[in-house]
Amino acid sequence: MFVQHPILDQAIALVYSARSELLLFFLAFALHHFLFGTSFPRPSFSKSTKSSLSPVVSGTDRDRQQQQQQQQQQQQRAARGRPEEGGEESGIGQATRDPEQALQQSQEAFERADHRSVLRLWSNLRRCDEVPASHLAQVLESMQRFKKDSNMILAEVQGYLRRNKSICDTQYVNRLLEPLAKSLDTEVVDGVFEFLPTLDLAADSLTYEILIHMYFTTRSFDQVRALGKEMASVKVAPTAKTSLVMLKTALSAGNLDDAIYYYKEVSAATSAVPTASQAPRHLPRSWQNWRVATTGSI
């Protein structure tokens, strides 16, 4: 006779009732084992495993070290003002030996507001006698953007003019002074103006026009009057713009004689060129009103 075991009977009944689920489980287990090799991966500490993992770790560390080195190199280039490798300025250092290419690269750098590259290229261009006055003014503007001292800027431009004395004339200096005067750096402009005798040059009417307009803009009327007297002493005829500025200065100071003189100069200039008048149309009426208020007659 067989001995009955209730627990065993219940277990068999339970397994029989879940036979479909168990069958699906074993099929899934077998499929997973067939596809992935093992269902319960265990960490292996064998030498072969360690040796296989070591190249991965070392490769990761190597990548990190390379990235850190690249970042340090980029920071060093930025501190020294050097362009990054592969950038649009990577050929600057190779082309600076050619003055024409260096000048072209410097002009392009100024157009994109890369003043650091302009100053770096100027170290080679300062020995070249082919720098236009307009670009020399741009180089000085780049120095101003980098907060260079006015004395240093003045020494730089005077040194360049002295080295290239043979090609510098009054027209060259005027083309240089015009954009400098717009920056209202009176110290640099005065230094270049006073440097003219060293170059065996004399200021002409356009030179005085540039300086007088600059001082009138800065409301330095004493300097305007001093330059006007200097023009008269060296017998340099004022331009129409200069006469107009001198007339405004005389009116603001209440100087009747000077105002009459420069009013005649402005009238003569405007009557000579009626289609391009340099004086405002309301000036004659303002002149009459001011004369009536000061002298009581027209």
Rounded CA separation 58/225 (Å) = 78
Question: Quick one: pLDDT at residue 59?
Answer: 53
Rounded CA separation 154/189 (Å) = 8
Place of tokens 């200039």: 269
Instruction: Answer for the pair 256, 226: CB distance below 8 angstroms, yes or no.
Output: no
CA dihedral over 175, 176, 181, 183, signed as positive or negative: positive
Question: Quick one: pLDDT at residue 206?
Answer: 93
Q: Phi/psi at 168 (nearest 5 deg)?
A: -90, 125
The most distant pair of C-alpha atoms in the chain lies apart, rounded to whole Å, by 155
What is residue 87's DSSP assignment?
S
Q: Which of 157, 232, 239, 233 is nearest to 199 (CA)?
A: 157
Q: Which of 265, 291, 262, 133 is nearest to 207 (CA)?
A: 133
Which residues, at least 6 apart from 129, have a Cβ–Cβ distance to it below 8 Å?
A: 163, 164, 166, 167
- pTM for the model stands at 0.57
Rounded CA separation 160/74 (Å) = 33
Question: Quick one: pLDDT at residue 52?
Answer: 47
pLDDT in tens, the chain (298 residues): 455 667 877 878 777 777 788 788 888 888 877 777 655 555 555 544 444 444 444 556 666 777 777 767 666 654 444 444 444 444 444 445 677 888 888 888 888 888 888 888 888 887 877 788 888 888 888 888 888 888 888 888 888 888 888 888 899 899 988 988 888 888 889 888 998 998 888 999 999 999 999 999 888 888 988 998 898 899 888 888 888 888 888 887 777 777 787 777 777 766 655 444 444 554 555 555 455 444 544 4
CA dihedral over 30, 36, 37, 38, signed as positive or negative: negative
